[in-house]
Amino acid sequence: MCKLLLSKLRFMVFAVYLMSPQMAAPTLSCTEENSNKRSPVVKMLLRSSKMLIIKTHSDVFFLGAKTRSDVDPGTHARPLLAAPAPPNPPVVSDSIRLGPSLSRARARRPPVAAPPSLAAAARLSLSSGTYRSGQKMLGVVRRKVSGGSSPLTILGQTLPFLRAAAAPLRSYSSAFKEMTVRDALNSALDEEMSADPRVFLMGEEVGEYQGAYKISKGLLDKYGPDRVLDTPITEAGFTGIGVGAAYHGLKPVIEFMTFNFSMQAIDHIINSAAKSNYMSAGQLSVPIVFRGPNGAAAGVGAQHSHCYASWYASCPGLKVLTPYSSEDARGLLKAAIRDPDPVVFLENELLYGESFPVSAEVLDSSFSLPIGKAKIEKEGKDVTITAFSKMVGLALKAADILAKEGINAEVINLRSIRPLDRATINASVRKTNRLVTVEEGFPQHGVGAEICTSVIEESFGYLDAPVERISGADVPMPYAANLERMAVPQVEDIVRAAKRACYRSVPMAAAA
């Protein structure tokens, strides 16, 4: 399989930032006496005439490129940005730090100085940050490899320059670490179950299989089957059990494999969990969390792609949270579990594997985020863009594009749909005088419609342009990939709407 993959990949050189800069990595030596000790994978890589893949503790490199067209200029933009070059060629070893699966040898050769030509090319590439200068360094490396120099030696000589270039881009790494949304949810569940014995998890495949999306990984082994309960495929059954347990003071976390399946349990969620506190005059609390993936994924069809944010947000007695980042996921889930009222926690399947920087404060076991408070992800003065869940990422990308055209957009991550942070939204609109709402749900009676109504009621006199709503198409989610893309908001849709709000010209074809 590896040989087949290697045979199909083209020659290219680029460095990328890894999710775990602190990842430990043993050392592979290139000495002849250790050549027979290399793992079969390393031998195959070194024999390959097409590509050499090297993973270091902070970078990944793909070596080789036949022509300029073989390398995507975008792959150089991140690692090869401007950075101060070392005053002298560094002294490096041809021992390269590799991933754990690629190393068994340990011996080292005496250190050697980087060749002046290679060092000069690397400096040029790092100082300019351009694709052309990156290609110049690439050419030097390629000539030295073709001339018989060890690929590992050449890579060892270029690593110091590439790491120096990447350092400014990772300035948060000393105080922040990266965490996926999946790990953020898992750690929040783990810590809350450890802190409060009343918390338990129940749902389909949450135990032995460790969750359909591995959110509950390791929890069964740690807390046992009494607190991590696998259930039959009967949402109405285990949701009703969870609500009953909450009546008696426990704190269940109910996982739906997708929120589309929560429709099977709608009676327990709405008629029991949401209304019991009011019907008992506040004497009965229902501390339960309903969580799982919500909204469009990728090619899973209409019955697995519905966004239920506006559905549940319309019901008094429920709190509805929509995390975007790892900080959101961790802080909001902890807050939801600690809350005395029922909380609908809408995750997004496509965000589970996304990594975000988190601070030491976020990683503290006592950390939580306030329910009902939005976050200004990016400050601006020309137009307000509100979004939640996966749409926040699209809004931020749109803001970057708008900035290049002179439009400074403010992006608000709603975080909480009910209660809605109307104060933050209206304060932003009174500053920017324009509003664009973004959601992937249906347009009619949506979250965006509620936000627009709030702004019109409270800040109408501050508006300099009609409000703009971006939403999913008013159809069940198509299965075909091309139609699915048309049915959910895209970055270009947000850009066009923001430009309309700012009275910037939009091509007729694009507007249509």
List active site positions.
Answer: 235, 304
Distance from CA of residue 47 to its chain's centroid? 36
3-state SS assignment for residue 178: strand
Q: Which two tokens stand for residue 406?
A: 């002179």
Q: Which two tokens stand for residue 245?
A: 């347990």
Cα separation, 297 vs 310, in Å, equals 18
Specify whether the CB–CB gap between 198 and 250 falls below 8 A.
yes
Cα separation, 62 vs 402, in Å, equals 33
Q: Which residue has the tokens 């075909």?
A: 480
Specify whether the CB–CB gap between 11 and 65 falls below 8 A.
yes
- H helical segments located in 181-315: 181-195, 219-223, 235-247, 266, 276-279, 309-313
Distance from CA of residue 505 to its chain's centroid? 33
Residues 6 or more apart whose CB falls under 8 angstroms from that of 403 comprise 409
Residue 61 burial (CB count, 10 A): 22
Half-sphere exposure of residue 410: CA atoms within 13 angstroms, side-chain side: 23
Q: Which helix (H) or strand (E) holds 343?
A: strand 343-347
Q: Which two tokens stand for residue 98?
A: 């590799």
CA quadruple 265, 271, 275, 281: dihedral positive or negative?
negative
**Distance set, CA 268 to CA 238, 263, 296, 339 (Å):** 10, 10, 24, 18
Furthest CA-CA distance within the chain: 83
Q: Which helix (H) or strand (E) holds 180?
A: strand 176-180
Cα separation, 316 vs 494, in Å, equals 31
Angle (CA) 345-346-348 rounded to 5° is 140
**Distance set, CA 407 to CA 385, 411, 505 (Å):** 12, 12, 13
* Helices 151-166 and 131-146, axial angle in degrees (round to 10): 160
Residue 405 burial (CB count, 10 A): 11
- The candidate with the shortest Cα–Cα distance to 332, out of 192, 175, 446, is 192
Half-sphere exposure of residue 290: CA atoms within 13 angstroms, side-chain side: 34
* Kind of pairing between the strands at 52-55 and 91-92: unpaired
3-state SS assignment for residue 414: coil
